[in-house]
Amino acid sequence: MTPDPARARYLAALRAGSRRDALAAVDDALGQGMPVRTLYLQVFQPAMHEIGRLWQENRISVADEHLATAITQLAMSRLYERLFGGRTEAGPLLIAACAEDERHELGLRMICDLLELEGWDTVFLGASVPVEDLVRMVVDRRPEVVALSAAITPHLSRVRQAVDAIRSALPERGPVIAVGGRAFAADPALAERVGADLTAKDAVEVAERLKERFGG
């Protein structure tokens, strides 16, 4: 199965709200030899971008968008169990968290999964992580990278707070801080203004840039 029909089939399942059909599309694509990386880059990500566009145009409801996200999270969880269930090797560590009050976590989850395909270890904290809890974990675990996500402009102040707190807690040999999410997509220079080291337009590009930076 090539990416285009797999993506169309998966998107149709999302729009129908059918978890069963979506998982069947994923299983069939894998069974026909589609690499997991291709599934992420050319099926999951563009399908969810289309869901986001339809929601912005009021062609689907918030409930429809939440259901599509939940289905994709389930599909990714099943893949994670298949790919990494028996892995024991250690790799560079990334801690990933959404800014406090931020609920859109799927792109950040994709970064973690894509990097684990390349041998990284990741800690995915998910949505709305309080700054003080994030900083405590960063100090305890000393990751090479912290990835922060924000989808909307009002949450940028929370990203800045998290960046400043991490820098203050680890003024020397602190982690590389990457930021991403819809709030940064239209203005790459925004990352520098919030004190981060890098950003990119989407989850896949962030993962690629981190791999390049750390020799992956």
- Domain with 151 in it: what CATH number? 3.40.50.280
| CATH code assigned at 37 | 1.10.1240.10
* Alpha-carbon distances, residue 191 vs 15, 120, 124, 199 (angstroms): 33, 23, 21, 6
- Residue range(s) defining the domain that contains residue 53: 3-84
Sequence-distant (6+) residues with CB within 8 A of 74 are: 19, 23
Vertex 117: Cα angle to 114 and 119 (nearest 5):
120
Is residue 98 within 8 Å of residue 126, measured between CB atoms? yes
Domain boundary among 43, 67, 84: 84
pLDDT at 9 over 70: yes
Residue 117 and residue 62 share a domain: no
Q: Give, in order, the Cα–Cα distances in Å from 154 to each of 21, 135, 172, 182, 200.
A: 36, 21, 30, 12, 19
Identify whether residues 80 and 114 lie together within a single domain.
no
What lies within 8 Å, CB to CB, of 133 at 6+ separation is none
pLDDT category, 1, cuts 50, 70, 90?
low
Helix residue ranges per DSSP H, the chain = 3-16, 19-31, 36-39, 45-56, 62-84, 106-117, 131-141, 156-169, 182-185, 190-193, 203-213
End-to-end CA separation in angstroms for the chain: 28
Same domain, yes or no: 205 and 100: yes
pLDDT for position 117? 84
Of 51, 84, 117, which one is at a domain's C-terminal end?
Answer: 84
Domain boundary among 50, 84, 118: 84
Count of domains forming the chain: 2
Shared domain check, 209 and 131: yes
Q: Are residues 52 and 77 in the same domain?
A: yes
Q: Are residues 122 and 187 in the same domain?
A: yes
The pTM of the full predicted model, rounded to 2 decimals, is 0.85
pLDDT, one tens digit per residue, over 121-160 is 999 999 999 999 999 999 999 999 999 998 888 888 999 9
171 plus 80 within the same structural domain = no
Question: How many residues does the structure list for the chain?
Answer: 216
Residues 123 and 206 in one domain: yes
**Residue 40 in tokens:** 């992420």
How far apart CA 44 and CA 39 sit, in angstroms, is 6
Q: Are residues 207 and 137 in the same domain?
A: yes
Give dist(CA 157, CA 179) in Å, integer.
13
Do both 104 and 179 map to the same domain?
yes
Please check whether residues 98 and 200 belong to one and the same domain: yes
Neighbour tally for 82: CB within 10 Å: 10
Q: What is the pLDDT of residues 57-83, one digit of tens each?
A: 999 999 999 999 999 999 999 888 777
185 and 117 part of one domain: yes
pLDDT value of residue 192: 87
